[in-house]
Amino acid sequence: MTELSTRQLTKSYGDRPALEPLTFKVDSGANVALVGHNGSGKTTLMKMAAGLLDPTDGSVRIGRHAAGSQEARRLVSWLSDTPTFYDDLSLWEHLEFVARLHGVTQWEDRAEQLLDQIGLTQRRDDIPTTFSRGLRQKAAITLAFIRPFKLMLVDEPFVGLDEPGKQALLTMFQAASQRGATMLIATHELSFVTRVGRLLALRDGQLVYDGAPADTDVHALVLPS
């Protein structure tokens, strides 16, 4: 079953094309890395899949639903590279809010476990807008995992994370993948690419590689033209 599919997906900012017509499919349960140089269109693609950006042309579907639709929003968890938080809620209150917003009633145990896993238990009652870059990223990770999802879209997850944080996140990705979730992870961390089954590479908004990571020189793929 296809979890994510794009058809002739295009995005332009004024006269400047950010994403050329792009067509691909990601099967349910797949573990996919998305690489490319700065400005190659990775974040644009991810945001359109999350329903945050309107395509200039073409379409993105999550399962059978249009990206951004109410049904699609139930299926997609979006972990941004620039986490945002309410400045008057603690991390614990954020977790409660996001979990309950997605219909999770028994959320407390899961929240405690996630905080423990990522190393934020001591900070659960603090306001996340006061956190450092790395801690904000960790807080965002817990919020992305507290809610149900079938597809997780992750943009630059390792930025600002310390080594224990990276390891915890990798473990969580792995567990999610094992449980059948589809993962699409945009990253500059090329060592991570060897862990996934499929690699998509963008260059100047065009898909220049779609295949197994082992079959290509990843370093060459991320060089701008």
Binding site for other proteins (CB under 8 A): 50-54, 68, 70-71, 73-76, 78, 80, 83-86, 88-89, 93-94, 97-98, 100-104, 109-110, 113-114, 116-117, 143, 145-150, 171-172, 175-176, 179-181
Closer CB to other proteins, 102 or 188, in the complex: 102
Instruction: Find the shortest distance in angstroms from Cβ 114 to other proteins.
Output: 5
Q: Give the nearer residue to other proteins in terms of CB position, either 105 or 132.
A: 105
CB of 84 to other proteins, least distance (A): 4
Shortest Cβ 189–other proteins spacing (Å): 21
Three-state SS letters, 23-78: EEEEECCCEEEEEECCCCCHHHHHHHHHCCCCCCEEEEEECCEECCCHHHHHHEEE
What does the CA dihedral 60, 137, 84, 13 come to, rounded to 10 degrees?
-40
Give the C-alpha separation, 72 to 75, whole Å: 5
Rounded least distance, CB 207 to other proteins, Å: 22
Residue position matching structure tokens 């060459």: 220
Around 75, how many Cα atoms within 13 Å sit in the side-chain half-sphere? 25
Q: Give Cα separations from 38 to 45, 126, 188, 201 (angstroms).
A: 13, 33, 9, 12
Cα(41)–Cα(124) distance, integer angstroms:
35
Between residues 103 and 134, which has the closer beta carbon with respect to other proteins?
103
Q: How far is the CB of 158 from other proteins (least distance, A)?
A: 18
- Please say which residue, 52 or 208, places its beta carbon nearer to other proteins: 52
Closer by beta carbon to other proteins, 110 or else 208: 110
